[in-house]
Amino acid sequence: MIGDKKVILSGIQPSGDSITLGNYLGALNNWVKLQSEYRCLYMLADMHTLTVRQEPSQLRARTLSLLAQYIAAGLNPQENILFIQSHVPAHAELTWILNCYTQMGELGRMTQFKDKSKRHADNINAGLYDYPVLMAADILLYQADMVPVGTDQKQHVELARDIAQRFNGVHGDVFTIPEPYIAPPSAGSKIKSLQDPTAKMSKSDPNPNGCIFMLDPPEVVIKKIKRAVTDSEAEVAYREGKDGVNNLLTIYAAVTGKSVEDAVSEFAGKGYGDFKAAVGEAVAECLRPFQLNYRTLMNSKDYLESVYKDGAEQAGRIAERTLNKVKKKVGFVPR
């Protein structure tokens, strides 16, 4: 708790030119809904991106751009603590300590590690393996009660719980045990690729038509949705075996705020052509204000700088408090 509010922490990696519709519907859009009820810290997870090679000037630009995207989506910097992970050294320090409370076997079981090591077989670095411990440090430093993420991050949040419980078991109550907060799949916690609706929508999709980026121009969005893989049944229904149509219905419902059931009845008797055109329009409509806000913010670099500086100060204070407690517990001599 901070004051009388429960604490939320989450983050996105600044690893693409813009976030994807999956990041938006699975994470950012939910964060906006939670911001007044909870004390929220939203991080730009730049340290995590180094697990895959980055071009330095691009990483710098993308980090600033991601901050603008957070605010453009509706996160209020006055109400939330928005900060850059690498600005708070406590993340790296706590990671080291937690490494010594994490088993190799636990990290080897992480499905994202297995997937990413296949995709980056020439660079299976220790950071890629250790990444979930850094994520546990991110969460535990702020004594977060809840961690709003998409389905693909659930396993990492569960590991953070296990590490926290283990540490508390040895040293007493130091960490709050965090809960993952995941919307149901029909509400967008697992948006699929438009080209392979059995896989998640991801910026690293080998087919560029599989992924919608939040800064894609409207005509591109409409075209990508028009080309989305569906099935040969020509019936707009939400049921097993219709992954492509289910995904488009989920996207439509999430961006319009309608239920999937209402969306299904809206398209009853309509063909896939009309359906896809309506979904494309609805997504483009949702992106319009986001992109407008984004452009305005990117013209106010001083403002963005003031937001992340202030965020680092506030986050740093909270993180230091936890880190000092941890250092004392493990037996480090205070400075």
- Contacts with ligand TYM by CB under 6 A lie at 9-13, 22-23, 26-27, 45, 48, 135, 138-139, 147, 149-150, 152-153, 189-191, 200-201
> SS3 of 192, please?
strand
Nearer to ligand TYM, 110 or 270 (CB): 110
Give residues with Cβ within 8 angstroms of 46, minimum separation 6. Answer: 13, 14, 59, 63, 84, 85, 86
Residue 34 beta carbon to ligand TYM: minimum distance, rounded to whole angstroms = 13
State the burial class of residue 120 (Cβ atoms within 10 Å of its Cβ: 0-12, 13-18, 19+). middle
- 5 in active site: no
Which of these is catalytic: 203, 226, 270, 329? 203
Closest CA to 13 of 187, 131, 144, 159: 131
Which of these is catalytic: 192, 200, 224, 276? 200
Q: How far is CA 170 from CA 40, 107, 135, 322, 332, in A?
A: 29, 20, 21, 16, 16
Residue 52 beta carbon to ligand TYM: minimum distance, rounded to whole angstroms = 10
Nearer to ligand TYM, 59 or 270 (CB): 59
- 203 in active site: yes
Q: Which residue has the tokens 């087919």?
A: 207
- 190 in active site: no
Nearer to ligand TYM, 189 or 291 (CB): 189
Q: Looking at beta carbons, which residue is closest to ligand TYM?
A: 26
Which of these is catalytic: 116, 192, 224, 276? 116
CA neighbours closer than 13 Å in the CB half-sphere of residue 250: 25
Nearer to ligand TYM, 45 or 319 (CB): 45
Residue 200 beta carbon to ligand TYM: minimum distance, rounded to whole angstroms = 4
Active site residues: 116, 200, 203
